[in-house]
Amino acid sequence: IANRRAFDRAIEEARGRATVLIIDTDKFKQINDTRGHAAGDAALCAIAAALGAQVREEDLIARLGGDEFGALLPGIGSATGAEVARRMVRAVRDLPDCPATVSIGVADGPALELAKTLIRADAAMYQVKRSGGDGVEVCGPGAAVRAA
């Protein structure tokens, strides 16, 4: 998958409307602490593959750093973005022998405001984390609304 630099470049070069997902892995420290860093690396690879299997070819999945990922879904709104995010949550839950789950924040906006959209998606992701993780939060232009 892409790295943070590629994700930031895609945000800057986006045209039209897009949905942004900020994805944080829940329980990742537990994997590293109990199974070791090699198991943590394997889990990250499996999570990345599970996330990537849920998007279209024109979408971008990137590892932003540590156990955090981002997705840029051009040309779709937050309702469709939320459905993609829910599929991602289920796909990670279904990974064999992996206790990790994901918390996903979803926000959409016009290309010229994707930097702000990214901030809103991040805030929505933290709302999921505060609620226990393993879910999706959609952030509209105003306030975040629980989606799953």
Q: Which residues carry out catalysis?
A: 67
The burial class, CB within 10 Å (0-12 / 13-18 / 19+), for 126 is middle
Question: At 89, which amino acid appears?
Answer: V
Q: For residue 112, report the phi and psi dihedrals to the nearest 5 degrees.
A: -70, -15
How far is residue 84 from each of residues 73, 77, 122, 134, measured CA to CA in Å? 9, 11, 17, 14
The two tokens of residue 112 are 């010229």
Distance CA 81, CA 46 (A): 21
Helices (H), 1-148: 4-13, 28-35, 37-52, 78-93, 114-130
Intra-chain end-to-end CA distance of the chain, in Å: 26
